[in-house]
Structure 1
Amino acid sequence: MPQNIPVQDQYEQLVQKLFDELMELVLPVCKNEQDAEKVRQAFYFARDAHKGVKRKSGEPYITHPLAVAKIVVGEIGLGVKSVIAALVHDVVEDTEYTVEDIEHLFGAKIASMVDGLTKLSSATATSETSEQAENFKKMLLTLSDDVRVIIIKIADRLHNMRTLGAMPAPKQMKIAGETIYLFVPLAYRLGLYAIKTELENLSLKYRFPEEYNEIAEKLNRTNAERIIFIDQFIEPIREKLRESDIDAHIYGRVKNVYSIWKKMKSKNLTFEEIYDLCAIRIIFKPTSLVPEKTQCWHIYSLITDIYKSNTERIRDWVNIPKANGYEALHCTVMSRSGIWIEVQIRSERMDAIAERGFAAHWRYKSQEQNSGSFDEVLEPWLRKLREVLNNPQEDAVEFLDNFKMNLAVDEVVVFTPKGESRTMPKGATVLDFAYNIHSKIGSCALGAKVNYKLVPLSTKIHSGDQIEIITSATVKPKVEWLEFVTTGTARNFIKKFLKSESEDAVKQGQELFEQKMKDLGITQMGRVLSKVIPEYKCANKDQFYNKLGLGQISLDGVEKILRQNAASKLVKYWTLQIAKPFKGKKRQKGAERENQEKFVVAECCHPIPGDTIIGFNEDDGTIDIHKKSCLIAVEKAAQHGNKIVDATWSQEKVESYLTIIDLRGIDRKGMVLDLMKIISEEMGVNIRTLNFTSHDGVFEGEISLYVRSDDDMKMVLEKVSKVKGVDKIHRRESTKIN
């Protein structure tokens, strides 16, 4: 800002500038001057209501609702009512105005939207549930009334992420975790691809800034040569389309940082090993005489006259669009330099829907039908969603997990015996399909025929399968079904049925377990349960207690399990430097202290000194320490952000800790012996176990060893990577990447 203008005047100029920009976007969608005047009224009302309130950045608070309103109309394409709701969406929460006041000023519909957008008081959360999950749950209950509520909420989150740099580190981790856990799949499910991509990138930027910056820098460094390659690839296609009188815009786009990072993690690749860094997009202006999907295939045939196509990588979303309305034809062709390139073919209408989601879909429908009615593509998803939302007694965290299951990113299309198509999430089973048809069919499913072949209910389904469900009146849902169903709808119905029958069994199982622990002299039940439950292959403590109460499992071997867990770790506690637990607005800046409480190292990610870590306050008084990259930590940050503790290594009090490395390479005689010599003799690192398998000249191995710090771990990886024949080596991480 200019130095010669008072700060207050600069802020007033900023607010006026943002409002002028908003009105430029709003006026084209206003039906009349009355609409424009309502938007002005909402701005003046919100500005006065938030007067004197500042954001963390120091800017007037009104800049936030103005920015959200600009996203709503400019980047998503919603109308006047949504803009007004966005402008006043925080008034009820932050001021003395009520929903009734909003209704009096702006009408019942906008008041209803604001009510759905208003953040709920932390007092609504119980001690057993996450405050965020409880708030999400109540917010999502409004979704069945008006989907614009959740779209505006996504816009609100997008602006918060764009300005997250002004927040303290624990708040950044919490908000970024919530974003990747819930808001990214929500944006995807509503077809908001551009916003989904930005949210992914911003979340990565604050969760793993070093990795984000490294990839961004490498992309920037190789940009010039990539532009040359794209231009050379596009030119023959552009000429071919021109010869065929096809009016199209062709451009290349670089994959976003998050998608590159995700591929590097999931496939254990380096940046240099990823070759499909860019994709080509063809957006054509359709002719009225030929169907759009026919024109897509015509363009595909012209492209394959130039470049060879990989037919196994064709994605036909023009004949069967994705469940979120996405339409396009994707193909992969071989460039003249020997690199596979993805080409996306869309009409102008398809492209608008791909970038702006259902808002654009409604607009095109409105133009075609002269009606603003709710589109049938969104309604089936909302109908299924309402089944999940219609269970107010459900635990909030469990509810959030079930809801998230309905936001599946990858999908398959299967068919009923009569040929009706059904879209299911990738990885879904026959039983998920049965519940998708009807809850009564799912609850009495005995088996199925997939492509006329008899299969069990746990069979995973694939695109193109024709599925017939076999039912029996004597069948009822079983606990075991929860082990293989993947959709929230199926899981919800199964759990509701089991809950009605198993409350007594759960109570009896809990009493048996508590008595056993009492006999063993163990008092910290929560910590013991976290060790025991996975050993009995149970999903949670209720399933464990239920099986125990029904006599399906026995506690005869529990002492052995506890001894094994105790022996598997050489050390358990460290002294760390931590900040006081984050308490929202009451957190004191710089309030660091040396804390002598017990810090328990998480077994899911095995953090060691040198790793970037984060802590969570547990109910038993200990602090659970995770690597920041741990997927469990990300979910805990999203669900239990109020328990985050900012932790760093202070003074190491241990000599070594167990960690695991995975190897792959060309097998040869003496390979294992060479590895043992380098690790044990040259480096003095204690090996606990080695497991190696060899097939067709390729070996895969796992080595568990004790190291003292992250520096030791890096040295081991560096030395072992130089052993002849070793092709891949990495420290074990979670395989699921958010």
Structure 2
Amino acid sequence: MPTLDAFVERISGYLSAPQVNLVRRAFYYAEQAHDGQRRRSGEPYVTHPLAVAHILADMHMDHQSLMAAMLHDVIEDTGIAKEALSAQFGETVAELVDGVSKLTQMQFETKAEAQAENFQKMALAMARDIRVILVKLADRLHNMRTLGVMPPVKRRRIAKETLEIYAPIANRLGMHQMRIEFEDLGFQAMHPMRADRIQRAVRRARGNRKEILSKLEESLRAALERDGLEGEVHGREKHLYSIYKKMRGKRRAFHEIMDVYAFRIVVDKVDTCYRVLGSVHGVFKPIPGRFKDYIAIPKANGYQSLHTTLFGLHGVPVEIQIRTREMEELANQGIAAHWLYKSAEGENLKQGHARARQWVKGLLELQKNADSSLEFIENVKIDLFPDEVYIFTPKGRIMELPKGSTAVDFAFAVHTDVGNSCIACRIDKRLAPLSEPLQSGQTVEIITAPGARPNPAWLNFVITGKARTHIRHALKQQRRSESISLGERLLNKALSAFNLKLEQIADDVLHTVLSEYRLAGRDDLLEEIGLGNRMAYVVARRLLAQDHEPAHNPDSPLAIRGTEGLIISYAKCCTPIPGDPIIGHLSAGKGMVIHLDSCRNITDIRHNPEKCFPLTWAKDVSGEFNVELRVELEHQRGLIAVLATGITATDANIEKIGMDERDGRVSVVHLIISVRDRLHLSRVIKKLRALKGVMHIQRIRN
């Protein structure tokens, strides 16, 4: 374990004497606060904060971060208030400590909810000061290093959380070394036997690889010397978790992964990187399609390097990374290099810090629109994908997106309003489906329309958390406004039985009912009615306080226009269309589902006024409605084409088509077609009956 003297000696190399004294004072304060507390391993508790501060000192973090590391468990574990820390060490340090502290006072139903809420709190603190996450990562790293003393169940839970959240965050912030240690420690805790077997296999393979490695290294050094280029050549070892991920993800055997040899060449400046690339391509032939220039287009976390794969000796693949010393430091330390170089060593480090801030800003946006902390953390996990594609806007701006992103993800990345009003896209100047996955280098143009709204089907293919959150948010807003509109119609319908309208109800009466129902306002009450959570007739009687008798029968049907949107749906069991006799089933939380009056699925509840509502079609009903047909016809060549031609001739659309052969002579075709109303359907059926070979047509209702 590190001692205080060794730690002070370590930080004295880059901090001033007064700053070192402040850090020392924070240590003594923590030691006193944690007095009598011990870790599970039996050591005094203060050894943990000291070890966390040591990890940050290795990154040359500033004195306030080191003080926060010393004090990071004080609020959570010792009952000392944030205000006391603020008085002793200043507002900044107190805010950092509070950002890392868990929400211990609140009660959560599940462990997952508690973790999600704590992460959400930390994300908000990160937005104020990015150092919060660095202190948290160092805290988690020391906990992972000392995980062996924990019971197996807790060990696996902490390891899973580390692999799912903290390792990807370290990667997102460009902290390569920390990510690798997180992944290997997490892998060993989650799957000890698998880690042990791969570790032994790596040791065995290392002996067999020595000769080839040294020959390859000699060839690369010789190439650099021949061309008068200076650079350090290092062999790169694959770490355990990356081997395991490749074996699982790409379904490859261990020897296939270990047959690839990897080197890193570190040079003095960017110009030399490209010269070295030419030099190594002169020694071994490059494998086509395996060159990536992350110097010209850095990764989302600021990582920069040239990557190429060559055919080495005896056709062995050789992976080469070429980068400058600053890029090497930034790749290993990531955002922490900002403090190491005090942001003075060129634009790259400032860029890395700006990208991290941009990412945190994105987290805040996700948090604002998410319904719950669990939805927020699910979206954060989605956004921590390591692989990116690089897409161009029509004006030549580069956008970074996770691998597998679609035009809808791109639209939301450009701007929320562009995503919300998106209706189509052009990829490399050709019209393409919105669901098509994008490839690096493509130019994407989004076509928008005023008044357009996000489509619920987009949730099936979008990749980014931003797109998913905004689509859900827009659909919730749309659903709310539609629920309020339907609720108002239903309540006015119920009040019309008493010759009244909602506008005629006194404000004090409305407020009394709202407080009874524990609702904030009129719109909330109407939304509850529209969603089917409260019955319009019951609310109407409550508003009139039982002292009005109905002037006429309240069961006169409500007219359906077909434009109500998400809050009204049409039952798939009986597929009603305009002209059919219909009835509405109010389903709690879902709104109104429209069935045929004769539908078997609502036989038991159709006379229950709390569940069902009489409906009729409005004169100006609009939209397209699905209906299912069963067509029996003689088996003949091209019968699907014959049917399709007949249906399109009547201006109807085929949504789905399926066929099964009843015997060698007769085929049965199931069609789902969209029509405007019963009159339109009768024209379709009449047209189909006139086709040669059609024997029988039936509309399927249940």
- Please indicate the TM-score interval, normalised by the length of the shorter structure: 0.5 to 0.7
**Counterpart residue number, 2:287:** 310
Partner in structure 1 of residue 608 of structure 2: none
Name the residue aligned to 1:386.
364
Shift of 1:20: 2.4
Query: 2:148 maps to which residue?
Result: 165
Please tell me whether the aligned partners of residues 127 and 357 of structure 2 are also in contact (alpha carbons under 8 angstroms). Answer: no
* 1:465 lines up with 2:442 in the alignment: yes
Q: 1:418 pairs with 395, 398, 409, which one?
A: 395
Contact 2:234 2:265 in 1 (8 A): yes
Shift of 1:364: 4.1
Check 1:304–1:27 CA distance in 2 against 1; reply closer, same or farther (3 A cut).
same
Say yes or no: does 1:205 pair with 2:188.
Answer: yes
Aligned to 2:503: none
| Equivalent in 21, 37, 41 of residue 53 of structure 1 | 37
Q: Tell me, which stretches of 5 or more residues in structure 2 are unaligned? A: 487-526, 534-571, 574-586, 602-702
1:265 counterpart residue number: 248
In the alignment, which residue of structure 1 is the partner of 2:380? 403
Q: TM-score, normalised by structure 2?
A: 0.68
Query: C-alpha separation between the residues in 2 aligned to 1:273 and 1:454?
Result: 41
Using a 3 Å threshold, how does the CA distance of structure 1 residues 406 and 344 change in structure 2: closer, same or farther? same
What CA deviation, in whole Å up to 9, does each residue of 1:578-615 have, x standing for no partner? xxxxxxxxxxxxxxxxxxxxxxxxxxxxxxxxxxxxxx
Matched, 1:491 2:476: no
CA contact (8 A) 1:260 1:277 kept: no
Could you tell which deviates more after superposition, 399-408 or 483-492? 399-408
1:67 and 2:51 equivalent? yes
Is residue 28 from structure 1 mapped to residue 13 from structure 2 by the alignment? yes
**Gaps (5+ residues) in structure 1?**
1-13, 287-291, 513-534, 537-543, 559-738
- Pair 1:472–1:203, CA change in 2 (3 A): same
Q: Where in structure 2 are the equivalents of 1:165-204 lying within 5 Å?
A: 165-204=148-187
2:333 corresponds in structure 1 to 356
Q: Does the 8 Å CA contact 2:404/2:463 hold for their aligned counterparts?
A: yes
Shift of 1:363: 4.2
**Aligned partners of 2:404 and 2:438 also within 8 Å:** yes
- Cα deviation digits, residues 279-315 of structure 1 (max 9, x gap): 11111123xxxxx1x3211101111111111131111
Q: 1:234 to 1:109 in 2, by over 3 A?
A: same
Deviation at 1:57, TM superposition (A): 0.8
Aligned to 1:19: 4
Distance 2:338 2:66 in 1: 18
CA distance in 2, matches of 1:378, 1:129: 26
AA aligned opposite 2:389: V
| Contact kept in structure 2, 1:279 and 1:341, CA below 8 Å | yes
Q: Distance in 1 between matches of 2:219 and 2:347?
A: 41
Equivalent in 305, 317, 320 of residue 343 of structure 1: 320
Secondary structure at 1:130 match in 2: helix
Which amino acid in 2 is paired with 1:49?
Answer: A
Seen in structure 2, the aligned counterparts of structure 1 residues 460 and 507 have a Cα distance that, compared at 3 Å, is: farther
Report how far residue 26 of structure 1 moved: 1.2
| Distance change in 2, residues 1:37/1:362 (3 Å) | closer
Judged with a 3 Å threshold, the aligned counterparts in structure 2 of structure 1 residues 241 and 110 are, in CA distance, closer, same or farther, namely same
AA matched with 2:139:
D
Alignment of 1:280-299 (within 5 A): 280-286=263-269, 292=270, 294-299=271-276
In the other structure, the counterpart of 1:685 is: none
**Distance (Å, rounded) in 2 between the aligned partners of 1:269 and 1:252:** 22
> How far apart are the structure 1 equivalents of 2:177 and 2:60?
13
1:248 aligned residue? 231
> Given residue 7 of structure 2, which amino acid in structure 1 is its aligned partner?
L
DSSP-derived class of the 1:387 partner: helix
Q: 1:275 to 1:372 in 2, by over 3 A?
A: closer
The 1:364–1:453 alpha-carbon spacing in structure 2 relative to 1, beyond 3 Å, is: farther
Give the whole-Å Cα distance in 2 for the aligned partners of 1:227 and 1:297. 28
Q: Which amino acid in structure 2 is aligned with residue 22 of structure 1?
A: F
Identity of aligned pairs, percent? 37
**More deviation in 135-144 or 325-334?**
135-144
CA drift of 1:371 comes to 13
* CA distances 1:158-193 after superposition (whole Å, capped 9, x unpaired): 111111110001101110111111111101100011
- Find out whether 1:96 has 2:83 as its counterpart: no
| Alpha carbons 2:229, 2:272 under 8 Å: kept | no
| Equivalent in the alignment of 2:22 | 38
Give me the whole-angstrom Cα distance separating, in 2, the residues matched to 1:64 and 1:83. Answer: 13
| Residues in 2 aligned to 1:356 and 1:274: alpha-carbon distance in whole angstroms | 27
Deviations 1:488-532 (A, max 9, x none): 1111111111112335499899979xxxxxxxxxxxxxxxxxxxx
Q: For residues 52-111 of structure 1, what are the alpha-carbon distances to aligned partners after superposition, in whole Å with 9 as ceiling and x for unaligned? A: 11111111111111111111120x332211111111100111113111111111111111
By how many angstroms is 1:386 displaced?
A: 2.1
Q: Distance in 2 between matches of 1:277 and 1:101?
A: 56
Q: Which has the larger radius of gyration?
A: 2
Aligned counterparts, 1:107-146, within 5 A: 107-121=90-104, 123-126=106-109, 130-146=113-129
Greater RCO, CA 8 A, separation 6+: 1
Partner AA of 1:191 in structure 2: G
Q: State the Cα distance separating 1:378 from its structure 2 match.
A: 2.8
**Partner SS, residue 333 of structure 1:** strand
Once the 2 structures are TM-superposed, how far is the Cα of residue 346 of structure 1 from its aligned partner?
Answer: 1.1
Partners of 1:371 and 1:252 lie apart in 2 by: 25
* Distance of aligned partners of 1:155 and 1:128 in 2 relative to their CA distance in 1, 3 Å threshold: closer
Residues 448 and 454 in structure 1, CA contact (< 8 A), matched pair in contact too: yes
Matched position secondary structure for 2:255: helix
- Asked if 1 retains the 8 angstrom alpha-carbon contact of 2:130 and 2:357, the reply is no
What is the aligned residue count?
504
Distance 1:468 1:362, change over 3 A: farther
| 1:264 shift after superposition | 1.0
1:334 offset after TM fit, Å? 1.2
Alignment RMSD (CA, Å): 2.9
Partners of 1:127 and 1:508 in 2: how far apart? 31
